[in-house]
Amino acid sequence: MALLRASALEWWVEARRIVGPVDLVIEPGECLGVIGPNGAGKTSLLRLMAGLERPSAGTVELDGRELARWPAKARARRIAYVPQLRPVAVPLTVRELLLSARYPYLSARQVAPAASDFEAVGQAAAQVGITALLERPLRELSGGERQTAYIAAALAQGGDLLVFDEPTTHLDAGNRRRVASLLLELRRQASHTLVVATHDLRFAGRLCDRLLALRDGRVVECAAPAEVLQPAILERLFGAPFKLWREGGETLPVLDLERSVRP
């Protein structure tokens, strides 16, 4: 059975269709990348797949059951979402952030985290290499450290589907590499199903099993990276000329600057 299935999925804001129609199947253990220009509807699609927005039409199903029918805590034990934008001045330490991700496991009578919650936090911190930062306030961390802490919180939450919205955006080259390496390691372990929206086409090509190319809320293409990362498809997707470039034995799609500036 598919882990997640979207059928005739649409999302409207007033009279404007933001997403859809989208039909999509995500298999357990798969890594799906979502690419497209600004305003393509990537974030909206991810929020629909995480159950954070209700479809205007169509359905999203988790394990064959419509997401809208899942109790909030049960859904949160299966799906963890890391948004693109978060407040910087969060008055929490890293440990407190990770413990807050354990909320779906608290019972109605429970007033404090259990030993299993502290164990999950310790394991998640160790997995991403931030054990030494657990007592640090989030506001004191660098951008890359803060992003890594939020990824650790998603792991502490325990979901088998991890949804990341632009996980490397606004980071410098060193921190982008650190976060990208972390997601590549999660992919190598094959212990989670990943959905990642990104503008980094090279990263998407290396990380993902399939790429979903989205423009104006509609699917332009959904296939293996080698099939999607072709100049003709990327030009249709971004409205800009691309070419293939060989670097270190790897063929990469890059913006064709010569054609871009040609009158």
**DSSP-assigned states of every residue in 177-203:** HHHHHHHHHHHHHT-SEEEEE-S-HHH
Distance CA 201, CA 196 (A): 12
pLDDT at residue 98, rounded to an integer: 97
Q: Supply 97's token pair.
A: 């952030």
Instruction: Please write the tens of the pLDDT for every residue from 166-201.
Output: 998 878 888 888 888 888 888 888 789 999 999 999
Distance CA 109, CA 93 (A): 25
Q: What is the mean pLDDT of residues 209-225?
A: 96
What count of residues does the chain have?
Answer: 263
Task: Look at residue 89 and tell me whether its pLDDT is greater than 90.
Answer: no
Asked if 49 and 163 count as a contact pair (C-beta separation under 8 A), the reply is yes
Q: Which element (helix H / strand E) includes 151? A: helix 143-157
For 27, 34, 64, 78, 194, the CA distances from 1, given in Å and listed in that order, are 8, 22, 7, 16, 17
Confidence grade of residue 90 (pLDDT, cut at 50, 70, 90): confident
Q: What residues have CB less than 8 Å from 185, skipping those under 6 apart? A: none
DSSP type of residue 136: S
Q: Per-domain residue ranges for the chain? A: 4-229, 238-263
Q: Which element (helix H / strand E) includes 259? A: helix 257-261
Confidence grade of residue 221 (pLDDT, cut at 50, 70, 90): very high
Reported pTM: 0.91
Query: Of 248 and 221, which is predicted with more confidence?
Result: 221
Report which of 228, 229, 224 is spatially closest to residue 254, judged by C-alpha positions.
Answer: 229
CB half-sphere exposure, 205, CA atoms < 13 A: 15
Task: Look at residue 227 and tell me whether its pLDDT is greater than 60.
Answer: yes
Per DSSP, the three-state class of 97 is: helix
Asked if 25 and 215 count as a contact pair (C-beta separation under 8 A), the reply is no
pLDDT at residue 39, rounded to an integer: 93
Amino acid (1-letter code) at residue 189 = Q
Q: What is the mean pLDDT of residues 30-51?
A: 96
Secondary structure percentages of the chain, helix, strand, coil, to 5: 40, 30, 35
Confidence grade of residue 262 (pLDDT, cut at 50, 70, 90): low
DSSP type of residue 30: -
Q: Supply 36's token pair.
A: 């497209």
Confidence grade of residue 232 (pLDDT, cut at 50, 70, 90): very high
- β-sheet bridge partners, residue 62: 4, 65
CA 79 centroid distance within chain: 11
pLDDT at residue 261, rounded to an integer: 54
Query: Of 107 and 56, which is predicted with more confidence?
Result: 56
Task: Look at residue 135 and tell me whether its pLDDT is greater than 60.
Answer: yes
Which class in CATH covers the domain with range 4-229? alpha beta
Report which of 51, 54, 53 is spatially closest to residue 78, judged by C-alpha positions.
Answer: 51
Q: Which element (helix H / strand E) includes 234? A: helix 231-238
Task: Look at residue 260 and tell me whether its pLDDT is greater than 70.
Answer: no
